[in-house]
Chain A
Amino acid sequence: MAMTRRDLLRGGALAALGCSAWGGLERAVAAMQRPSRAAQLATPADTVVVALNLQGGNDGLNTVVPLRQYARYRQLRPTLALPRARLVTLTGYAQDFALNPGLRALAPLFTQGKVAVLNGIGCPLDAQGLFDHEASQQNFVSGEIYGTAPPQAPSGWLGRFLDGVSPGTLPAGIDFSGAPLLLSGANASPLSLSSIDGFGVYPSNDFAALYTAYYRLQSLAGASGTVATRHRALRQQVLELSGDLQAIHDAYAVAAGVTYPDTYTAGALRDCAALIAARRGVRALAVGLGGFDTHVDQQAGPPDTAAYHEALLGEAAEAVAAFYADLRGHGLAGKVVTLIFSEFGRRAEENNDLGTDHGLASVAFAIGDPVRGGVYGTYPDLAADALVLDGNLDVHTDFRAVYSTILARHLGADPEPILHGDFGDLGFLR
């Protein structure tokens, strides 16, 4: 066989598995599944948020470059500063800001007014664990400050929103390695998937009898203990949803003229588009893209990993651009806001490993037809005396203000109970 273990590791493992193990059985199973209930219910035509989580701490300073302080930027980043000639111009802001070349795919959307650049985003400076991935990820995902949240089970800001939405025929929150906590509420619990293709249980021999027995086994009431009970509930969910998801996958046609890149992020966003287009009550989706913890060789590095950070941003931007075009082709671009965020930015000054260490303020993006395009927030001043907590970009906008804006303007929810406070409206949505 041509594939090696390492090929599998690099990607396509699930696809390879689908061919060798489950091949041919999906149709048989789909026929056995419960009939879809979709047709029996009114179509919930609702707004959707897709959160793309750049895990590891995205270097905001090399993502959106402040042109008015370019000389100071070069000074802070002697080896990592992006040359002016390579930067991507932001229409209307040619003297102010420019994008990392990896974000090229977002530039046309920005010109069309579909992208909001949200500068200077971060946690309040007195929050604990500011430089710690775990605490900061939890802050951004929960919409609460680590250590100060009310004494309840941890939940996500979108999860608490989902607690209040009327249920559709699919779970309202679906996670593709984004952060399950983001979509977990007091009651809301996300469906975690790696792909909607091939999701299900298909015993390879004695199919009909074994499938029936499995179905009976998982439908039994009462298991002993919470772990066993959760396992049984998850299998019931698999049985209930696998036929539905396969049908959604098989029926979905990407809009004419749109091609998704061959990356995990793009594949997940394609699945998101299919789920949204199915109009089955999915309101929030999360997709994770890791690798932003760029302590070393952030930009140059050995030949085969050249422009590492740029390539990561490229995977995000190209996937999001295809996703937007696809939604637009399906007439759904007005329903969906895509939020790109990260738990923190990087230190202003580069380190001695051609990388950057954990920092504070970073940048977020909102993309979609509901967005009022432009640049928002205050870009942190790079002057030495303006840096805070030992050489870091200052935070000018509390990250919860981004959520508050989305909750109020796009999701039609009252942000205060969800975020435990009033964080205002940044004005980036129509």
Chain B
Amino acid sequence: MPGRCGRANAAERGKCRGRASSRAGRTPLALLAALLAVASAAPIPPALATVRATRTEQRVLAGHLLRRLGFGPSRRDMHEALRLGPGAYLEQQLHPESIDDRLGERRFRPPPGPSDDGDVWQLRWLTRMAYSRRQLLEKMTLIWHEHFAVSNGKVGALPLMRDYEQLLRANALGNFRDLLIGMTRDNAMLIYLDNAYNNGQAVDELGNRIPPNENYARELLQLFSLGVHRLNPDGTLVLGGDGRPLPAYTEDDVKAVARALTGWIPHYPSDPDEEDPTEVIAPAEFADWAHDPEAKQILGEAIPADAIGGAFDVERVVAILMRHPNTAPFISKILIQKLATETPTPGYVGRVAAVFTASDGDLRAVVRAIVTDAEFTSPAVLRSQYKTPIEHIVGALRGLDARSGGNTLYYWTMLAGHLVYYPPSVFSFYRPGQKSGLVNAAYVATRDAATDMLAAGYTDDYFDAQWNAADLLRRQRLRARPQVAVELLARDLLAAPLDEATRQVVLDYLGPDVDEAKLRGAAWLILCSPDFQVN
């Protein structure tokens, strides 16, 4: 329908653009228009302006995709994204099983053996972020970890965290319903939010029913599916007559959900003192004798007394949550805030939520809707977001093409309060829309210390990342070419030219003769520049 594409309606443009990009894998014109606006802010060296302007713009767009769908550009992935074009690259990333990742896997931290430390699983996850070509899969896995926060600080069993991580990855681009069901029955989650051994038939000495623990039930509603307030389909608040927001659920709903989810018994590693990180742990079991079989009234829907198979109350509760009008806008907005912008327009949320509803929670369709929306590449969204600590340090490693077995990533993300398997609370490392809260004066000093060690090549028992600067110097013959060195570093680290003032500072530092130490120092300066801090 060519007529529709010509209309000046953002939603329609988004749809049309989405189709064009997924079909042909070209850089759509609307994208280029947006890119031109951005590229003009970062001046292109005059000599390159005419010949390679298009290439620079393509690189800026590819950099945007690689930072948002993944953990920033590496040389190999940048090459791939440029080769395929944005539409085809997105489709490839949406189908991770179609990507041959053998080269990436060779750089993953090998899994632990039976007598190794279980935290090797964390190191392995961090190296997946750095080296897997399935960048979107790894990004989504992290996003779901942030959403369904579970900490080993309480669980205290790394094999359970390993299985929890695997469950997130297996469903990361699947259906949101399966994530909710899987999380509700997950060993680690049962322990973390106190739904393990939650006895729905416990009575006190007088024979009165003792109410079950409500912790998981409350967070399932408040954080994992509905949110606190009633939402319009575009994610804005429904306001009551007094102008105040209305609650999405009541205390009675929380209590009823808690009762429906009673009866689950997790499995633990067989020897908690001598944990074998490779031990296979059975899934949680359902115990009828600990389940509350009486009728429940949840969000206006009834689960009848003695419903067949009390274990299926999990599916029944999740079905009610998936039908609730809050879930689509609540989850869609969170995913937009993680992938695109922390301040989406209601229109953006509404368009994505409509896809969530129409596809019944198909996350692949939802992510596609987010990335192909006009707002995703608008000038207000490009290079406008905070990098989280993980995005920062993994991105630095990828940009430099440095090698790490995960140790370096572990330490810096730990110091920044963003260590996988250890969110500080059920409110996770940060709340959706509040990445700014991760950044403060103490942390930027830590951040620049991290890149200092990385760039300077400092290694010891804890810091294992190695960047082969000597190799870059030799292969690119940079010794007498400081300007080329700066251009190359900016391209690898920022996927965009440096602004003139920053470039001058780095050139002054380098001087006419570039040696390995100077090249490392120049990389550090670019890693500390404001441009590297934004996503």
Q: Which A residues are closer than 8 A to B by beta carbons?
A: 1, 4-6, 8-9, 13-14, 16-17, 20-22, 55-56, 78, 128-129, 131-135, 147-148, 175, 180, 191-194, 199-206, 209-210, 213-214, 216-218, 220, 223-232, 234-235, 237-238, 241-242, 290, 293, 295-296, 351-353, 355, 357-358, 389-390
Closest 10 CB pairs of A and B: A192-B440, A228-B530, A223-B530, A213-B509, A231-B533, A234-B444, A295-B194, A352-B210, A295-B215, A352-B202
Contact A201 B445 (CB under 8 A): yes
Q: Is B508 an interface residue, CB under 8 A from the partner?
A: yes
A–B Cβ pairs within 8 angstroms, 28 of them: A4-B117, A9-B414, A17-B449, A21-B449, A128-B245, A133-B427, A180-B440, A199-B442, A199-B445, A205-B520, A206-B517, A209-B521, A210-B509, A217-B528, A224-B41, A224-B383, A225-B534, A227-B534, A230-B439, A231-B444, A231-B533, A238-B444, A242-B445, A351-B210, A352-B210, A352-B211, A352-B212, A357-B214
What is the minimal beta-carbon distance from B409 to any residue of chain A, in angstroms? Answer: 12
Let me know if B344 is at the binding interface, CB within 8 A. no
Residues of chain A contacted by B499 (CB below 8 angstroms):
224
- The answer to whether A128 and B244 touch (CB under 8 A), given A217-B502, A229-B530, is yes
Picked from A16, A55, A204, the residue with its CB within 8 Å of the CB of B456 is A204
- Taking a contact as CB atoms under 8 Å apart, the answer to whether A13 and B414 are in contact is yes
Q: Find chain A residues with CB under 8 A from B215 CB.
A: 295, 357
Assess the B251–A147 pair: CB atoms within 8 A. no
Q: Which of B194, B501, B524 contacts A355 (CB 8 A)?
A: B194
B213 close to A213 (CB less than 8 A): no
Q: List residues 415-445 of chain B with CB under 8 A from any CB of chain A.
A: 415, 419, 422, 424-427, 431, 436-437, 439-445
- Please tell me if the beta carbons of A203 and B509 are within 8 angstroms of each other in the complex: no
**B301 contacts A by Cβ under 8 Å:** no
Which of B19-27, B101-109, B317-325, B458-466 touches A?
A: B458-466
Write the nearest CB–CB distance from B271 to chain A, whole angstroms.
15
Of the candidates B211, B437, B452, the one whose C-beta lies within 8 Å of that of A180 is B437
Of all chain B residues, which has the CB nearest A223?
A: B530
The CA-CA distance from A146 to B437 in the complex, in Å, is: 19
- Give chain B residues whose Cβ lies under 8 Å from the Cβ of A134: 228, 427, 431
Closest A residue, CB atoms, query B510? A213
Q: A13-B414, A78-B204, A389-B251 are in contact. Are A213 and B506 (CB under 8 A)?
A: yes
Asked if A351 contacts B530 (CB within 8 A), the reply is no
Report A4 CB to chain B, min CB distance, Å.
Answer: 8
Q: Which A residues lie within 8 Å of B517 (CB)?
A: 205-206
Q: Is the CB of B441 within 8 A of A192?
A: yes
Tell me the bound Cα distance from A22 to B384 in angstroms: 32
A131 to B249, alpha carbons, bound, how many Å?
12
Q: Which of B236-262 contact A (CB under 8 A)?
A: 244-245, 247, 251
Q: Which parts of B498-532 form the interface with A (CB within 8 Å)?
A: 499, 501-502, 505-506, 508-509, 517-518, 520-521, 524-525, 528-531
Is B441 a contact partner of A210 (Cβ separation < 8 A)? no
Contacts of A193 in B (CB 8 A): 441-442
Whether B178 is near chain A, meaning CB under 8 Å from some CB there, is no
On whether the beta carbons of B213 and A290 are closer than 8 Å, the reply is: no
Contact of A234 with B436 at beta-carbon distance under 8 Å, contacts A296-B213, A357-B214 already known: no
**Distance from B430 Cβ to chain A, minimum over Cβ atoms (Å):** 12
The answer to whether A290 and B425 have CB atoms under 8 Å apart is yes
Q: What per-residue 1/0 map shows which CB atoms of B198-220 lie under 8 Å from chain A?
A: 11001010000011111100100
**Given contacts A220-B501, A235-B448, A357-B214, are A241 and B441 in contact (CB under 8 A)?**
yes
Q: In the bound complex, how far is the Cα of B449 from the Cα of A200, in angstroms?
A: 9
User: In whole angstroms, what is the CA distance A202 to B524 when docked?
Assistant: 12
| Contact assessment for A231 and B194 in the assembled complex, using a CB-CB cutoff below 8 Å | no
Docked-complex contact A201 and B505, CB < 8 angstroms: no
Nearest-neighbour CB distance to chain B for A159, whole angstroms, equals: 14
Residues of B within 8 A of A242 (CB): 445
Chain B residues with Cβ below 8 Å from A128 are 228, 244-245, 247
A390's partner among B117, B197, B251, B445 (CB-CB below 8 A) is B251
On chain A, the residues within 8 Å of B431 by CB distance are 134
Which residue from A132, A220, A225, A237 sits with its C-beta under 8 Å from B228? A132
Most chain A CB inside 10 Å of its own CB: which residue of B247, B407, B456: B456
Contact of B462 (CB < 8 Å), options: A20, A129, A209: A20
Cα distance, A6 to B118, chains bound together (Å): 11
Q: Which of A16, A194, A389 contacts B442 (CB 8 A)?
A: A194
Q: Is the CB of A135 within 8 A of B445?
A: no
Q: How far is the CA of A296 from the CA of B190 in the complex (A)?
A: 12
Asked if B415 and A14 sit within 8 Å, CB to CB, the answer is: yes
A43–B441 Cα gap in the complex (Å)?
A: 25
> Could you tell me the distance in whole angstroms from the C-beta of B416 to the nearest C-beta in chain A?
10
B386: A residues at CB distance < 8 A: 227
In the complex, residue of chain B having the shortest beta-carbon distance to the beta carbon of A296: B194
User: Do B414 and A228 touch (CB < 8 A)?
Assistant: no
Cα A201 to Cα B446 with chains together (Å): 8
Q: What's the least CB distance linking A373 to chain B, in Å? A: 34
Q: Does B288 lie at the interface of the complex (its beta carbon under 8 Å from any beta carbon of A)?
A: no
Which listed residue (B425, B505, B534) contacts A228, Cβ 8 A? B534
Out of A8, A228, A229, A238, which one reaches B411, CB within 8 Å? Answer: A8
5 further A-B contacts with Cβ under 8 Å, apart from A204-B458, A205-B521, A230-B436, are A21-B449, A21-B458, A56-B425, A218-B528, A220-B502
- Closest A residue to B526 by beta carbon equals A217
CB pair A352–B199 under 8 Å, yes or no, is yes
Q: Which of A5, A205, A355 contacts B119 (CB 8 A)?
A: A5
B246 and chain A: residue at smallest CB distance: A128
Q: Is residue B264 contacting chain A, with contact meaning CB distance below 8 A?
A: no
Question: A299 to nearest B CB, angstroms?
Answer: 15
Q: How far is the CA of A190 from the CA of B39 in the complex (A)?
A: 35
Shortest CB distance B407–A (Å): 8
CB–CB A132/B222 < 8 A: yes
Complexed CA–CA distance, A355 and B211 (Å): 12
Are A203 and B521 CB-contacts (below 8 A) given A224-B41, A231-B439? yes
Residues of A within 8 A of B426 (CB): 133
Q: Are A205 and B456 in contact (CB under 8 A)?
A: yes
Q: Mark B165-197, 1 if CB is under 8 A from A, else 0.
A: 000000000000000000000000000001001
CB B380 to nearest CB in A, in angstroms, measures: 9
Would you call B501 and A129 a contact (CB within 8 A)? Answer: no
- Contact of A206 with B445 at beta-carbon distance under 8 Å, contacts A128-B244, A220-B505 already known: no
Chain B 447-480 interface mask (CB, 8 Å, partner A; 1/0):
0110011001010111100000000000000000
Cα separation A229 to B517 with both chains bound (whole Å)? 29
**Of listed A5, A135, A358, residue having the most chain B CB within 10 A:** A5
Question: Is the CB of B71 closer than 8 A to any CB of chain A?
Answer: no
B241 shortest CB reach to chain A, Å:
14
**A206 x B521 contact (CB < 8 A):** yes
Chain A residue at smallest Cβ distance from B38: A224
Q: Would you give the shortest CB distance from B518 to chain A, in whole angstroms?
A: 8
List residues of chain B with CB within 8 A of the CB of A238. Answer: 441, 444-445
A385 to chain B, nearest CB (A): 17
Question: Which residues of B lie under 8 Å from residue A9 when comparing CB positions?
Answer: 414, 419, 422
> What residues on B are CB-neighbors of A223 within 8 Å?
530-531
Q: Within 8 Å of chain A (Cβ to Cβ): is B348?
A: no
Tell me if A13 and B415 are in contact (CB < 8 A): yes
Q: Check B521 against A201 for contact (C-beta < 8 Å).
A: no
In the bound complex, how far is the Cα of B522 from the Cα of A213, in angstroms?
9
- B211 contact from A202, A218, A351, A358, Cβ within 8 A: A351
Q: Give the residues in chain A near B444, CB-CB below 8 Å.
A: 231, 234-235, 238
Contacting A201 at CB < 8 Å: which of B425, B449, B460? B449
Query: What are the residues of chain A within 8 A of B121 when measuring CB–CB?
Result: none
B385 within 8 A of A: yes
Interface pair B210/A20, CB less than 8 Å apart: no
> How far is A281 from B54 in the complex, measured between Cα atoms in Å?
54
